[in-house]
Amino acid sequence: MPDNKGVIQSFIAKLNARDFPGAAAFMTLDCVHHTQGLGGGDVVGRDAWLALVRGLWVSFPDRSIEVHQIIGEGERVAARLTWTGIHKGEFSGIPPTGRPVEVNGISVFAMRDGTIVEHWIEQDILALHQQLGAAPGQTHNWPKT
């Protein structure tokens, strides 16, 4: 059985290195990404995913993902993570603010033969909008354990 947790760690390392085609190589051609809060709906296929990711890195060009915990069982892997970056490009209709952001989230991956076939992305979009000044309220920086 493949080391699915290792595959996901390598996938995230490629994202942090901005090697988007290298990250896409870890997924099937028809991989489905459920992208709650990132424009709505599902993103199907490598090309659509590459367009989404490139757009996110235009909005937050110094974006970096830190994995706090990764759990895998069989063909499922879950990662608890935080991404940080400075808002330098339009995001979700919000013009660049120059503000730093910190967004907590969880990603769950379905794997087949060591390849990502489906990906659920849950992140604190409300906190992101609050940090960008696009939503009222306070954000909390919970301790990382």
What is d(CA 18, CA 31) in angstroms, rounded to the nearest whole number? Answer: 20
Instruction: Give, for all 145 residues of the chain, the pLDDT tens digit.
Output: 789 999 999 999 999 999 999 999 999 999 999 987 666 679 999 999 999 899 889 999 999 999 999 999 999 999 999 999 999 999 988 999 999 999 999 999 999 999 999 999 999 988 999 999 888 765 555 555 5
- pLDDT at res. 41: 76
- pLDDT at res. 2: 83
Structure pTM? Answer: 0.88
- pLDDT at res. 136: 79
* Residue-range domains of the chain with CATH: 4-131 (3.10.450.50)
